[in-house]
Structure 1
Amino acid sequence: MTVYNIALIGFGGVNRALAELIATRNPQWQRDLGFSLNIVAVSDLYLGSVISPNGLDAKTLIEANFTKGGFGQLSGGSAEADNETIIKTAPADIIVEATFTNPKDGEPAVSHCRWALQTGKHVVTTNKGPVAIAAQELKDLAKVNGLHFEYEGSVMSGTPVIRMAEKTLGGAELKGFEGILNGTSNFILGRMEGGLDFASAVKEAQELGYAEADPTADVEGFDVRLKVVILANELLGAKLRPEDVTCNGISKLSLADIEEATQAKSRWKLIGSAVRNADGRVSGNVSPKQLPLEHPLAGVNGATNAVSLNTELLGSVTITGPGAGRIETAYALLSDIVAIHNAQANDGKKDAA
């Protein structure tokens, strides 16, 4: 039975949710997936860091009420976070990177991924920063070292848009895409349809945990811009940078705009899109759009995400699913580990042949 030793970089909602799944699902994964996961290290800015070559009990990690620097109480632990040491020296097969997203230069997550790949460890991440800004470098580094850099959860959480498009739409000739890629802004627009003004809708989103204290990245489209870059580069072979994508958010939409759309039997949505132009270049855009009610994205409500892939042979193929959530995003990390496991199994079969 295969056991993958993993190190968790960041122990916020997503990696904590992965630990919850490990605590309860490992026997099922052994049976159904052919592997189990063993946490050998964790590093977190608030809690500190800990290494245990034999493994840390996932249940203890999630149930212990650690205060600031709490990992220092554990054997092999320190009250200080030391991501670099954990990544480079922990006896891990896979580094699970789930720290905050830096939209400017992707740091420190880019360095986290780079250190892992340089020291012989696979990487799975939900972090948009390193994927939008340094994906090609990191994929090349992984390839040179016979490793995997996987990032399904960087777009649409656990909904497998990247892998699904790559694995099931080969030959369909993808021409572009458009999508609702931020659940917070979609929730806010829905509440404005219900009569709330923008500020009140944002406040409600914050109270429900959909929006951060500073909602700028969501409502101004910056989060969607990173996802457009990731999808355009991955699925259309583009080489876009975030600054290449035109970006406008929803903060300037008024209740009058919402009401006008309702009267016209349409609905405002924040749409992230990219298209391959006649000259072969790919252009990306993020902006609010007024969609007719019959449009496949018009009926996507709440925190749900969706993307319509425009293909030459099939027309529009729409993928809908959760775009946020702790467990949903943790599932994306699991799906990346499944992909690594299956690839290694296939490599083993080739070697045996």
Structure 2
Amino acid sequence: MNDNTNVSTSYNIALIGFGGVNRALANIIATDPEAFYHEMGFNLRIIAVSDMFLGSVYSPEGIDMALLIGLPAAQGACANLPNGKATADNEDIIKNSNADIVVEATVTNSVTGQPATSHCRWALSSGKHVSTTNKGPLAFAEKELIDLALNNNVGFEYEGVVMSGTPVLRFADKLLKGSNINRFAGIVNGTANYVLGLVEQGQSFADAITSAQQQGYAEADPSADIEGKDVMLKVIVLANRLWNANLTQDNVQCEGITGLTETMVKEAVAEGCHWKLIGKASKQDDGSIVASVSPEKLPIEHPLAGIGGAVNAITFTSGMLGDVTVSGPGAGRIETAYAILSDIIAIHQRKEG
């Protein structure tokens, strides 16, 4: 790891992927640097960006933030920046730049976990901290990457992968530690929840999905959200984190909301119920994990039934406390960028400690 600590602590950041989330992070960093340092106790300097569509730029002393914030979303746009070029340069930037922290925010590949898994592997192996919002590396190579981080004495943080800006992983790790969590069930896909809410209001599924895309909740290809694959990966990440399990996609029964109809959704409301896409897992007496993703018709008194819009919620069941429900934003660019910031804070506290 490169140590750029002078009078004040400063971290060099390389952004891999420059879509909505990393753009939002850049805006947070650039808005009021003095206030940021006063609040956080450290400075952040973006020294590299690499994006498959926009190209790449590497300036070891820091990229001009005004130019970066104003970068148009046009193919090869990085070529118009000083030291920029029209093509991505992920591997070289990750391995050979003077970055202290690599922020991996590329689109999740739910089939292979690539290229994000390689991005994390390269960074950790070269002694750089990693914050990722990408579920792929955790679902496909969590143990390997955690071991790499430990062996190279760097942080590997991924708070944003389950509930975006809501710190559910650290909540379970720190505030519920020792409570003997044996089950969780939750709404962990804001897109599916938002779509179901609009259908309840009378929209068709097609129109509701289009609205979710316009709001920035859904990708151009929304299949991972509506078919349940996104929830499945999050269930895997959370279960493995809670119970040090080896859950994979082969162990999780998965069904999305594509089997629901507008009529089914409206009839449920008339009955005083709500359809929700639920991801859940439980630890059995023999230590095995049972996990699934499926739509469930919940009665109004259920703690998850009233969760609306892009809000997410998870109910943890523990031997000592019973049910504890955590809810908060589960989608959105700013919200996910905040999760990255919380990862960087954790890396800083680890370093300072």
Q: TM tier, shorter chain?
A: over 0.9
Give ranges in structure 2 of 5+ residues lacking alignment: 1-7
1:192 matched to 2:199? The reply is: yes
Aligned AA for 1:196?
Answer: Q
Alignment of 1:260-339 (within 5 A): 260-339=267-346
In structure 1, what is the equivalent of residue 232 of structure 2?
Answer: 225
1:156 matched to 2:153? The reply is: no
The answer to whether the Cα contact below 8 Å between 1:19 and 1:59 also exists between their aligned partners in 2 is: no
Alignment of 1:1-353 (within 5 A): 1-65=8-72, 67-346=74-353
Give deviations 1:140-164, integer Å, cap 9, x for gaps: 0000011111000111101000011
Cα distance in 2 for residues equivalent to 1:251 and 1:199:
11
Aligned AA for 1:135?
Answer: E
With 50-59 and 312-321 compared, the bigger mean Cα shift is at 50-59
Cα distance in 2 for residues equivalent to 1:213 and 1:37:
31
Give deviations 1:159-185, integer Å, cap 9, x for gaps: 000011101111111011000011111
The answer to whether the Cα contact below 8 Å between 1:158 and 1:330 also exists between their aligned partners in 2 is: yes
User: Secondary structure at 1:308's aligned position in 2?
Assistant: strand
The answer to whether the Cα contact below 8 Å between 1:69 and 1:79 also exists between their aligned partners in 2 is: yes
User: Secondary structure at 1:39's aligned position in 2?
Assistant: strand
The alignment's C-alpha RMSD in Å is 1.4
Shift of 1:303: 0.7
The answer to whether the Cα contact below 8 Å between 2:182 and 2:282 also exists between their aligned partners in 1 is: yes
Give deviations 1:294-344, integer Å, cap 9, x for gaps: 111100001111111111111111111111111110110100000011111
Give deviations 1:9-28, integer Å, cap 9, x for gaps: 11111111110001014322
Q: 1:121 to 1:276 in 2, by over 3 A?
A: same
With 59-68 and 278-287 compared, the bigger mean Cα shift is at 59-68
Give deviations 1:47-91, integer Å, cap 9, x for gaps: 211111111122220114363222223332222111001111110
User: Secondary structure at 2:163's aligned position in 1?
Assistant: coil
Q: 1:298 to 1:120 in 2, by over 3 A?
A: same
TM-score (norm 1): 0.95
The answer to whether the Cα contact below 8 Å between 1:181 and 1:306 also exists between their aligned partners in 2 is: yes
The answer to whether the Cα contact below 8 Å between 1:176 and 1:236 also exists between their aligned partners in 2 is: no
Cα distance in 2 for residues equivalent to 1:147 and 1:207:
38
Cα distance in 1 for residues equivalent to 2:211 and 2:57:
37
The answer to whether the Cα contact below 8 Å between 1:20 and 1:59 also exists between their aligned partners in 2 is: no
Cα distance in 2 for residues equivalent to 1:69 and 1:199:
32
Aligned AA for 2:261?
Answer: S
The answer to whether the Cα contact below 8 Å between 1:10 and 1:43 also exists between their aligned partners in 2 is: yes
User: Secondary structure at 1:171's aligned position in 2?
Assistant: coil
Give ranges in structure 1 of 5+ residues lacking alignment: 347-353
With 321-330 and 64-73 compared, the bigger mean Cα shift is at 64-73
Cα distance in 2 for residues equivalent to 1:321 and 1:77:
38
User: Secondary structure at 1:155's aligned position in 2?
Assistant: helix
User: Secondary structure at 1:107's aligned position in 2?
Assistant: coil
Give deviations 1:89-144, integer Å, cap 9, x for gaps: 11010001111101112111111111111111010010111111111100000000
In the alignment of these two chains, the number of paired residues is: 346
TM-score (norm 2): 0.95
In structure 2, what is the equivalent of residue 349 of structure 1?
Answer: none
With 28-37 and 286-295 compared, the bigger mean Cα shift is at 28-37
Cα distance in 1 for residues equivalent to 2:75 and 2:209:
30
Cα distance in 2 for residues equivalent to 1:258 and 1:75:
53
